[in-house]
Amino acid sequence: MRAVADATPLIALALLGRLDLLRQIFDEVIVPSAVYDEVTSRGFERPGAEELTQADWIRVRSAKAAPSIEPMLLGLDAGEIEVLQLAQEIQPDWVLIDERHARRVARAMGLPIKGTLGILLAAVLAELLSKEEALDALRQLLDKGIRVSARWQAWLREELEK
């Protein structure tokens, strides 16, 4: 399976010390250049920067085409735009993205999306994490200031009870 990743899932998993879950779940993880720069250069000394630079298994790639619509008109940042463009070009199995508006745009484009909590659930289903570890990861994310809506928290808890 192949995934194109945006910044927030990378940062969230790095905060948990579990960026490796992506390597274990996906055969190929592609990070657009704009996202890589956002996390490693502009986010220097912030969560995820060091982990991403050390993850030699992540492929950094640019979208071939320039955006056809001014990103600011869509309300998306440069990284989100490049995630969506690259995903449209290469048709990955999953687009890893958390931001609500970007997810809506991805869904409207017909792209398959999965967020950080979906990655945690996939890790449980693949027996890489226990249900308790996934719930603990959710608590850690909340404690570290990662915003997760009550709706998505409830979703993860319900899915883990199945």
Count the alpha carbons within 13 Å of 158 in the hemisphere toward its beta carbon: 6
**For 9-56, how does the pLDDT look when each residue is reduced to its tens digit (9 = 90+)?**
999 999 999 999 999 999 999 999 999 998 988 656 777 888 888 999
Could you report the per-residue pLDDT of 77-127, keeping only the tens digit for each?
888 999 999 999 999 999 999 999 999 989 998 999 999 999 999 999 999
pLDDT at 69: 57
Domains and CATH numbers, the chain: 2-161 (3.40.50.1010)
The type of residue at 96 is L
Summarised one tens digit per residue, pLDDT across range 117-160 is 999 999 999 999 999 999 999 999 999 999 999 999 999 999 99
Amino acid letter at 133? Answer: E
- Whether 161 shows a pLDDT value over 90: the answer reads yes
Q: Higher model confidence: residue 77 or residue 60?
A: 60
pLDDT of residue 68: 57
| pLDDT for position 35 | 93
55/58 Cα distance (integer angstroms)? 6
Tokens of 126: 């693949």
In angstroms, the first-to-last Cα distance of the chain is 24
Distance CA 82, CA 62 (A): 7
For residue 72, pLDDT beyond 90: no
Dihedral pair phi/psi, residue 9, rounded to 5°: -60, -35
